Structure 1
């Protein structure tokens, strides 16, 4: 039982921040007090200007709503460490969020206990990343945050989506999972109009809006959202077709080039194919070079022309 009032209030606030809604009975059981005490503690939080919404009655529910200002967050040791490391990693990864991310990190590190500050510092000193020049689209941070909340709360959303062909149309979906791959973010969702699973690139989503309607989570085909997205991305329509046949087993090639796992298909025990198709000729050439093996190529003429030109430049450079 949490008898100390300040400690109980902080624990109550922490619980309200971890889930969209709690019943009074659930909160009472977690804190080891009566529902009447919970109601009094909720009133204390409201006096401190925390926007706690609730319904009356014995089975009334409570949730921390959006207010005029961001309330202080309460993090345990693991949450604080994970947040600090994630902020450091995320700096520069989301459009328009570089400076904001570093400011948030500075605030968090300033109040970290010594034991956690040392742990975070050790993690940061032991890891590093290589930032290549960004040429592709970047994900809007607000869109990413809103969809993450919708996935968590099982809330149906609507948005406008621009396809690869440039056509735009409205969508109404049940968001299931966000997946990052190749510098892009994808949303796996169940589309209402098509009554089927669909994958949406976040940089093509606009006019995102919540509906306040809940849905029941469905099982993703195969049970693995990331694996499902990976398989669909590999089979998505692309501008240039290029299929390499390699005289090597699929397992052996996957072991050497793990990043291409979803593109490799076994033909027999000693042969496999690699789908190197894509929208950029330079990327196709890089994938083929990364095979580090002999292969035969079935590809569009534009791909062949690009490879011939690249080969001539390489020969000229070594002559």
Structure 2
């Protein structure tokens, strides 16, 4: 890469991933010499980016917190995620804050001066919590720790509480964080059980990266599908069919991906759910779009009951 400004932006983007980068790996990624990398690091320091260098066989470069908040380089997806997160904090929305927002929060935590951390802590907590609807809370520090370990990649240790209340200590190789809209899940390879596992993040405590690097294993399917199959294994999935009074492009993402255009500007949505019918009815109501449930009957009854309670609350 011979274009210096473009190379500096690429280098900065790599350094903003929460990990330590050996100079040789940076040189290989950017197609330049190690000497050029050293010069570029000095250029970034001159621009105010606090890049720390460590010596030794395992040494390298990483971006650290400085005396002032430096400009951050965010890709388009991350910038949109931040904007949606702020909107959710102001408008009490549930949908829209996905994995990209966690990556952005991990970058913020990496370089944020300590004097500013308490100012964004409340916003981070609210934004992450609003992605959930079942009352269980997720510590944003746990999410950002996991996101950093996935990006590293570094092994994770944490305490985990199973559905039956049993508590265990786990050591895993984290692969992906997956949001279902109501919960966050970590897909990881469990080293003690020598198999892939899905962990509900709200059941995780005391998560920390061990510093031990690893070569990511190949998951036999997409992480989202792995989580979906795990949910179906634990609960009985049932088909949902609902008509919403809006075209597919106006629907929230969790519905849009299952929608097909109907007559008169409506959308026919079909999907399978393991969530309680009452929760599905509430999520549909929170879209603010008029809807009619066609199936299944328990969801029809849940929507009718929810409508009755809302009507009684505002006589």
Kept in 2: contact 1:172–1:192 (CA 8 A): yes
Q: Is the 8 A contact 1:160 1:168 kept in 2?
A: yes
42-51 or 185-194: bigger deviation = 42-51
Q: 1:137: how far off?
A: 1.7
Give the unaligned 5+ runs of structure 1.
109-130, 247-252, 264-275, 298-302
Alignment of 1:1-319 (within 5 A): 12-18=11-17, 20-25=19-24, 27-28=26-27, 34-42=33-41, 50-55=50-55, 62-69=60-67, 72-75=70-73, 79=75, 81-91=76-86, 134-221=133-220, 223-237=221-235, 256-260=268-272, 280=276, 282-283=278-279, 292-293=294-295
Equivalenced residues, count: 241
Q: Offset at 1:88?
A: 2.1
SS at match of 1:194: coil
Contact 2:16-2:63 within 8 A present in 1 as well = no
State which structure, 1 or 2, has the greater radius of gyration over its C-alpha atoms: 1
Maintained 8 Å contact 1:138/1:184 = no
Structure with the larger RCO, 1 or 2 (CA within 8 Å, 6+ apart): 2
Q: Distance in 1 between matches of 2:27 and 2:142?
A: 35
- Structure 1 pair 192/22, CA: closer, same or farther in 2 (3 Å)? closer
For the structure 1 residues 27 and 286, does the alpha-carbon distance in structure 2 shift closer, same or farther, using more than 3 Å as the test? closer
Find the aligned partners of 1:149 and 1:192 in 2 and give their Cα distance: 19
Distance 1:44 1:182, change over 3 A: closer
1:245-300 Cα offsets, whole Å, 9 max, x none, are x9xxxxxx99754331xx5xxxxxxxxxxxx6x5x57348889x9761587x9xxx
Preserved CA contact (<8 Å) 1:161 1:168: yes
- The superposition leaves residues 210-243 of structure 1 with CA deviations (integer Å, 9 ceiling, x where unpaired) of 111122222223x211011011112215xxx797
- Residue 50 of structure 2 contacts residue 65 of structure 2 at CA under 8 Å; is this kept in 1? yes
Match of 2:96 in 1: none
Change (3 A) 1:49 1:176: closer
The aligned counterpart of 2:264 is none
Residues 46, 52 of structure 1: 8 Å contact kept: no
Structure 2: state its 5+ residue gaps.
94-100, 109-129, 242-257, 261-267, 284-290
**Shift in alpha-carbon separation, 1:191–1:92, aligned structure 2, 3 A:** farther
Q: Which residue of 1 aligns with 2:119?
A: none
Alpha-carbon RMSD: 4.9
Instruction: Assess if the C-alpha contact under 8 Å between 1:242 and 1:284 holds in 2.
Output: no
How far does residue 139 in structure 1 lie from its aligned partner after superposition? Answer: 2.4
